[in-house]
Structure 1
Amino acid sequence: MQKIFDHCYDLDRRCYEKFNLTEDILMEHAAEAMNRYIRDYEGPKERVLIVAGPGNNGADGITLARLLHGDFDVSLYLPYGAKSAMAKLQYERLCQLGLEPVSTLPAHADLVVDALFGAGFSKPLDTRGIDLVDALNRMEAHKVACDIPTGINPEGNPNPIAFKADVTITMGALKKALFSDHAKPFVGEIEVADLGVPRRVYEHHTDTFLLEEADFNPPLRANPASHKGHFGHLCVVAGNKGGAAVLCGMAGLRFGAGLVTLVTDRHFEHLPYSLMQSGTLPDTTTTVAMGMGMGYEYDPILIKSAILERDIPVLLDADMCYVPWVEPLLANCSKTVVTPHPKEFAMLLKTLGIDEVSITDIQNDRFGWARRFCERYPDTVLVLKGANTLVASNGMVYVNPLGTPVLSQAGSGDILSGLIASLLAQGYTPLNAAINGSLAHTLLARRYEGANFSATAEDLIEGIRWLA
């Protein structure tokens, strides 16, 4: 698990004031990190194009040009000149080596470094900037972004377009802007450059974290004398579209729940033999999952009353975002996870009276809207699905960046609900169930061996057996 920050200005200032490291020293380390990456890169790299902006991000690029000069055919392009104090200083140093910037953008390069605008970029690119980024994106070259790809604003949105990097070498620490859904197609692989002190020294307190594969804690069984009753009883409420509940239930069973029952007022034909069904909520229930395929008109009064009376852990998904009686569950259940995609989340915010926003609003500020929801319901764990799924609770946000296009098919969300609900049933806390269920979901996608367009929900369920 790694720390994520909104920005690194305070962290840099701490280096100046506490560790007596100057801005110049930090910049040399930033450029040296890019220098090492380029020298270690095994692809074509004889011709290196560095496009540097007028500020300190550009100064990093100018410094890099100095470090590469003599060993590579370096073209330094300064479309806006060098304007910040550090950019001017680094430019003066570069000139002492006899390397002059090129006056026009070269047509070809083996490796392109984008050092135009970094974390301070906020206003939209002007016409010149748009044309330049578009030209860089069309080049057939390996592309490296310095700190943050040009065009990505602090919320992680292309403004209006962005440099498409194969790798982003971000300076000092991970930034929130790198992990928006809109930024994911542009950042490529992400590496963090140390700036003169180790990251554990440079970084301080944060409330945002990046999840990694190593954080996954599967529900392995250690007791050789265990039986099914030790691993919980998951009940999945089945409504209008029973297939969604079956997928959820099978995922929950495969992920370790001791018993799984579909709770429904109608009889299911051809139900998998491993699943049970009941018209009422069994007394042994340890978690309820509801919403997937339920329908907006469905109101399981007895189930709702039993959940509230016994304070059973509950997972709420999909159609639950549209029904008014979601509010008493969120307000009164002490162990609750809600798992909407952006459209459902926008409807949930409206249903709860928090705000009326569009899907675009949600996607443009996923972190902000997740935090606003959790301020209203601090005891609820939110799993906001997306390219980079957010798990948010009580002021903390965890980012799962491991998702792939394999998950872009019907039933994927039902599988996620089953994974999380299964862990709730087995005694995980809501936050740990959400984190580990989300990680399991993305690991299933990453380990799928077929073409990424070919996976089905059933394939994901089958893959659960190999997650340990």
Structure 2
Amino acid sequence: MQKLFSSCYELDQKCYEKYGLTEDILMEHAARGMAEYIQYHFEKGSSVMIVSGVGNNGADGIVLARQLEGAYRVRLAVPFGVKSPMAERQLQRAEALGVSIVKELYDSDVIVDALFGAGLSRELNKETQYILHQLNSFKGHKIACDIPTGVGENGNLMPMAFHADVTLTMGAYKESLYLDESKDVIGKIIRVDLGVSSKKYEANSRSFLLEEGDLKLPIRTRKNSHKGTFGHAAVFCGEKEGAGIIAGMASVSFGTGLTTLVVHEKINPPAYLMHATVVPDNASALAIGMGLGGYFESEFLQNHVIHSHLPVVLDADAFLSRELLSILEQKDREIVITPHPKEFTVMWKILTGEVLSVEEVQSRRFEMVRMFNAKYPHVTLLLKGANMLIVQEEQLYVNPLGSTKLSKGGSGDVLSGLIVSLLAQGYTAIEAAINASMALVMAATHYRGASYAMLPTDIIENLSSLEGLQQV
């Protein structure tokens, strides 16, 4: 788990004021991090095309050109000249060393975008857009310095952006790198240290980036146990019964001792799933909303869900129900909600009367989850997306490991099943949301079939391999 920051300005200032480091020193290390990446992946003599902007992000690129000069065939383009004193100084140094300053852009083994860094708040002019179009047309390996040009200060994607294979971000991980709409242009994200370790560079943070190693599986170590030891999940199975069945299958496969589908009529689930017309007395967690429709009457929901004390997962059709959303007011209950952006807009309108578009939610995802958290701090919200955002009590977690394989009906039902499974086994709401989201994406990532072919049942089958992955 890594710390995540909205800005690195204060962190840089600490380096200057507390550690006595200069802007020049930080810049040398930023460039050194990029140089080491290139040296590791590309043989000496490879061609490198660096395009630098007018400010300090451009200066990072200029320093990189100087550091690689001699061992690599370096071309440096500074299409708009330089403006910051540091950029001017670095350009003088590069010229003194004999770095080739060019006006034309050339396809090369490595293409480095150092035009604009984090904090870009204005639209790109036509000349910059043309440069990006050229760079994107090249076949070389594309590296973004700090953040791709065309990704705004909050992570919003502009009409034209550099399409990086890898983004080498400076100092610390930034929230702006994890907005869904920019995921395809940012590529792989690697942090570069700036002359001090990340532990010394970073400050306290309430935002965190999840990594595969953060997954804590419900591995059974207790020998004196029985099925009741590992909880009893009750999954409400509504009009579209397949959704509830998938959630129930995921629940069983992730460790619950018992899983019961709550139904009105007889169904034919897998033999290992029980079904009943009421919530069993020994149930330890509930999941409701998946394919629910209007299947259960208000009195039934009041008796078995709303007035229950059990931990609960709300998903899908639950966000259409003012009655079920009243659960969010219950402060002494473990509650997890898992809306996708469209469901979030519907829920928010019911809760507040405020109308949001899906586009607004997607362009302001971090702001939206914090806005919800301010109103319901005790509720664990998991906002689905390419980068899942999980928040409770002002602590925010980003799961960046999503896969296009999950873009298929039923994946969300699996997630709900995983969460209720962990709740039933005694995990807290935030623990259940984090670990279920990690299990979902890791099971999908390690599916070996074609990306378009994965079924929800394939995710469930792959859950059994997660323990082995952690031991590798």
TM-score for both structures, normalised by structure 2: 0.96
Matched, 1:442 2:441: yes
SS of equivalent to 1:273: coil
Aligned-pair distance for 1:44?
Answer: 8.8
Per the alignment, residue 228 of structure 2 pairs with 229
Q: Deviations over 1:343-383 (max 9, x none)?
A: 11111111111631111001101111011011111110011
Taking the aligned partners of 1:429 and 1:143, their CA distance within structure 2 comes to 42
Per the alignment, residue 104 of structure 1 pairs with 104
Aligned-pair distance for 1:98?
Answer: 2.6
Matched, 1:328 2:326: yes
43-52 vs 243-252, which moves further: 43-52
**Paired AA for residue 302 in structure 1:** F
Taking the aligned partners of 2:126 and 2:361, their CA distance within structure 1 comes to 27
Aligned-pair distance for 1:110?
Answer: 1.2
- Say which of 286, 291, 296 aligns to 2:284: 286
Per the alignment, residue 347 of structure 1 pairs with 346
Q: Deviations over 1:407-453 (max 9, x none)?
A: 11110000000001100000000000000000000011111011111
**Paired AA for residue 74 in structure 2:** V
What is the 5 A alignment of 1:72-91?
Answer: 72-91=72-91
Contact 1:45–1:111 under 8 Å retained in 2: no
Structure 2 stretches lacking a partner, 5+ long: 468-472
What is the 5 A alignment of 1:25-424?
Answer: 25-42=25-42, 46-106=46-106, 108-268=107-267, 270-296=268-294, 298-332=296-330, 334-353=333-352, 355-424=354-423
Q: Deviations over 1:242-300 (max 9, x none)?
A: 000000001001101111111111221x2211111111111111111000000157445
Taking the aligned partners of 1:284 and 1:210, their CA distance within structure 2 comes to 36
C-alpha spacing 1:196/1:354, structure 2 compared with 1 (3 Å): farther
244-253 vs 297-306, which moves further: 297-306
SS of equivalent to 2:260: strand
Matched, 1:4 2:7: no
SS of equivalent to 1:170: strand
Aligned-pair distance for 1:167?
Answer: 1.0
- Percent identical pairs in the alignment equals 46
Taking the aligned partners of 1:381 and 1:424, their CA distance within structure 2 comes to 12
57-66 vs 181-190, which moves further: 181-190
**Paired AA for residue 215 in structure 2:** F
75-84 vs 297-306, which moves further: 297-306
Aligned-pair distance for 1:324?
Answer: 0.8
C-alpha spacing 1:233/1:45, structure 2 compared with 1 (3 Å): farther
Taking the aligned partners of 2:294 and 2:52, their CA distance within structure 1 comes to 54
Per the alignment, residue 470 of structure 2 pairs with none
Contact 2:238–2:295 under 8 Å retained in 1: no
Taking the aligned partners of 2:297 and 2:113, their CA distance within structure 1 comes to 55
Aligned length: 466
Taking the aligned partners of 1:296 and 1:173, their CA distance within structure 2 comes to 47
Aligned-pair distance for 1:160?
Answer: 2.1
Taking the aligned partners of 1:271 and 1:408, their CA distance within structure 2 comes to 24
Contact 1:374–1:395 under 8 Å retained in 2: yes
Taking the aligned partners of 1:377 and 1:222, their CA distance within structure 2 comes to 35
Per the alignment, residue 13 of structure 1 pairs with 13
Taking the aligned partners of 1:282 and 1:331, their CA distance within structure 2 comes to 24
Aligned-pair distance for 1:307?
Answer: 3.4
SS of equivalent to 1:315: strand
Q: Deviations over 1:318-355 (max 9, x none)?
A: 01111111332111152100001111111111111163
| RMSD of equivalent CA atoms | 1.4
SS of equivalent to 1:101: strand
Taking the aligned partners of 2:284 and 2:151, their CA distance within structure 1 comes to 44
Contact 2:235–2:262 under 8 Å retained in 1: yes
**Paired AA for residue 324 in structure 1:** R
Structure 1 stretches lacking a partner, 5+ long: none
